[in-house]
């Protein structure tokens, strides 16, 4: 008899959510995590005494409200903080564009740069509200084929959505709406978060939509902080899963998925310990799940070759720091302008130039930077009077043309600080401690291949029913009893939780209906 109904590999947020739903439905669940803390890319650590730093993910908002309710996350410590302003974009000429929650106030702000853009802004917001009405429900269920999804819309609307969202670059999309470079630069930053793509790359308009799904309270398209740090989100998820009866073991690295008669029947840890389960649910990416954990010969060679070609590019790194005080941005009327994202992405061309370096295997000489000073709104993350700063920096390609990421830390820190100094002179002198988290560090620490923050790239050919590969998108795999539940599945990365939610539904149906019954699993072949 199996030890568990389901063993979940990895305690990132999706693994924990899958475990929570499974346990709540009465399944016997074991979660195995390689690190000594839960959370995967959504963790808060204390590299320097008293400073709680979001090592990887730093902005919350994408997490689906239904999951928050179903798993009762506020009861376990989930407490998001909405910021107003949402963002602050200092410009090289000393001006600033600030993003306020109130639409009328925002229009006035945009009008500083262009009256025409200010008039277009409410229509732009309405476009997204409508598009998100269509996309959001599709995120909380296994993906339908893209043509069917588009086919549910009236024909003219289907054509518009296909063209605008799935085929266009962020540049072409935004150029149709606006003329001001400051506005387009700030918005385009959301179209390339974590992507190995520039705003001129076709398909990036969809990524803009993906990062527009944030919801906090009544507000749509928003981001915020998680009180206590991003790790509080996953600690709440772990608390919820445990409350419903799941067991979570840290320091438990899985090295093999056990296969008997072609079906997954459990896992082996690096220590040699084994656990048998009716379902093995992996929150780890496809590269590791299929190419490292499955015994050789489980999948045909051509299938393995196709899986190797799932694109998982690194594109970013983090520069995290402890600060003596909040820096003075020349363009900021007061520190209260810095409570949300401080974006160094003054134009679409600036971002594209930063990407040009990455295309040629170099860290950007002038990177885009998304800076968060969480301690400004949440003093719990720093000692009294001191502050935290996390910088999400692009572009940092997984593969460097010369040298290794381990040799580049000083150079990276220097480039980031030189870029920030142009907007906040003297920032360098405020730094008490700092760390550079490279794509290689991301891969080594949490196992995201290439340091890809979405486990695999979000591109039009790797979304919906194409994610992670065409034909294997319903969380089942060709190996009966083996499921995927991480960001490598629909609808992709970010602390969204939908992959874990959707996968748990499929696993539960199969647990009730009898695992390994023919019909449910995709074929073991892959096109292309």
**Contact set with ligand FAD (CB under 6 A):** 9-15, 32-35, 40-42, 56-59, 62, 253-254, 283-284, 316, 318, 392, 442, 446-448, 453-455, 486-487, 493-495
DSSP class of residue 335?
A: G
Q: Shortest Cβ distance from residue 81 to ligand FAD (Å)? A: 14
Smallest gap, in angstroms, from Cβ of residue 113 to ligand FAD?
Answer: 27
Q: How far is the CB of 231 from ligand FAD (least distance, A)?
A: 11
Cβ proximity to ligand FAD, 113 vs 372, nearer residue: 372
φ and ψ at residue 501, rounded to 5 degrees: -65, -50
Our CB check for ligand FAD shows the closer of 112 and 409 to be: 409
Integer Cα distance of 287 and 307 in angstroms? 7
User: Sign of the C-alpha dihedral, residues 53, 58, 59, 64?
Assistant: negative
Min separation Cβ 232 and ligand FAD, Å? 14
Task: Give 41 or 331: the residue with its C-beta nearer to ligand FAD.
Answer: 41
- Which of 271/525 has CB closer to ligand FAD? 271
Residue 391 Cβ vs ligand FAD, minimum distance, rounded to whole Å:
10
Question: Nearer to ligand FAD by C-beta: 242 or 455?
Answer: 455
Based on CB atoms, which residue is closest to ligand FAD, 348 or 448? Answer: 448
Q: In this complex, which beta carbon is closest to ligand FAD, that of residue 209 or of residue 493?
A: 493
Quote the CA–CA distance of 147 and 162 in Å, as a whole number. 10
Torsion of CA 326, 327, 331, 336, to 10 degrees: 0
- The DSSP letter of residue 165 is I
The count of other CB atoms within 10 Å of the CB of residue 383 is: 14
Token readout for 304 is 């393995």
For residues 224 and 58, the answer to whether their CB atoms sit within 8 Å is: no
DSSP category for residue 402: S
- Contacts (Cβ under 8 Å, ≥6 apart) of 256: 267, 268, 293, 295
Tell me which H or E stretch contains 389. strand 387-394
**Residue 214 Cβ, how far from ligand FAD at the closest point, in Å?**
8
Query: What is the closest distance, in whole angstroms, from the C-beta atom of residue 90 to ligand FAD in the complex?
Result: 20
Strands annotated E in 230-356: 247-249, 254-260, 263-269, 274-282, 316-323, 341-344
CB atoms within 10 A of CB 30: 21
Query: 252 vs 259, 344, 409, 509, CA distance in Å?
Result: 19, 40, 30, 28
* Complex with ligand FAD: residue 35 or 221, whichever CB lies closer: 35
End-to-end CA, the chain = 39
Q: How far is the CB of 346 from ligand FAD (least distance, A)?
A: 21
Looking at beta carbons only, is 91 or 398 nearer to ligand FAD? 398
Least distance (Å) between residue 192 CB and ligand FAD: 13
């Amino acid at each position: 008899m199996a030890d568990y109904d389901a063993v979940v590999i990895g305690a990132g947020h999706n693994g924990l959510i899958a475990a929570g739903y499974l346990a709540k439905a009465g399944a016997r669940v074991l979660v195995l995590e390689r690190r000594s803390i839960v959370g995967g890319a959504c963790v808060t650590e204390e590299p320097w005494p008293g400073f709680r730093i979001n090592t990887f993910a730093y902005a919350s908002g994408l997490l689906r409200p239904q999951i928050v309710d179903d798993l009762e996350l506020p009861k376990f410590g989930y407490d998001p903080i909405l910021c107003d302003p949402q963002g602050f974009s200092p410009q090289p000429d000393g001006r600033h564009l600030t993003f306020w929650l109130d639409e009328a106030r925002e229009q006035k702000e945009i009008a500083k740069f262009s009256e025409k853009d200010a008039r277009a802004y409410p229509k732009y917001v309405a476009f997204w509200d409508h598009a998100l009405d269509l996309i959001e429900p599709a995120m909380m269920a296994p993906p339908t084929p893209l043509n069917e999804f588009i086919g549910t819309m009236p024909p003219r609307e289907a054509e518009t959505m296909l063209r605008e969202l799935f085929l266009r670059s962020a540049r072409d999309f935004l150029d149709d709406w606006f003329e001001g470079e400051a506005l387009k630069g700030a918005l385009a930053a959301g179209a390339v978060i974590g992507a190995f793509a520039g705003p001129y790359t076709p398909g990036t308009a969809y990524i803009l939509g993906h990062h527009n799904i944030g919801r906090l309270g009544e507000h749509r398209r928003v981001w915020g902080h998680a009180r206590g740090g991003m790790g509080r989100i996953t600690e709440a998820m772990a608390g919820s899963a445990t409350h419903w009866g799941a067991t979570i073991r840290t320091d438990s690295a899985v090295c093999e998925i056990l296969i008997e008669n072609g079906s997954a029947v459990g896992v082996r840890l690096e220590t040699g310990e084994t656990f048998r389960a009716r379902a093995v649910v992996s929150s780890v990416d496809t590269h590791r799940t299929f190419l490292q954990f499955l015994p050789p010969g489980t999948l045909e060679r051509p299938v393995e070759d196709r899986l190797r070609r799932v694109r998982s590019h690194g594109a970013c790194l983090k520069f995290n720091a402890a600060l003596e005080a909040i820096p003075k941005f020349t363009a900021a009327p007061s520190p209260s302008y810095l409570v949300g994202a401080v974006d160094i992405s003054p134009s679409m061309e600036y971002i594209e130039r930063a990407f040009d370096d990455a295309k040629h295997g170099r860290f950007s000489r002038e990177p885009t930077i998304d800076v968060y000073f969480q301690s400004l709104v949440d003093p719990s993350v720093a000692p009294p009077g001191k502050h935290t700063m996390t910088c999400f920096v692009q572009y940092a390609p997984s593969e460097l043309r010369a040298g290794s990421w381990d040799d580049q830390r000083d150079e990276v820190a220097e480039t980031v600080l030189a870029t920030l100094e142009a907007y906040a002179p003297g920032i360098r002198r405020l730094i008490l401690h700092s760390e550079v988290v490279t794509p290689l560090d991301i891969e080594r620490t949490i196992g995201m291949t290439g340091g890809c923050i979405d486990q695999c790239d979000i591109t039009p050919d790797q979304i919906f029913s194409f994610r992670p590969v065409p034909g294997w998108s319903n969380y089942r795999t060709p190996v009966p009893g083996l499921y995927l539940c991480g960001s490598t599945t629909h609808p992709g990365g970010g602390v969204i939780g939908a992959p874990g939610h959707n996968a748990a539904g499929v696993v539960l149906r199969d647990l009730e209906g009898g695992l390994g019954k023919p019909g449910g699993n995709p074929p073991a072949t892959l096109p292309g």
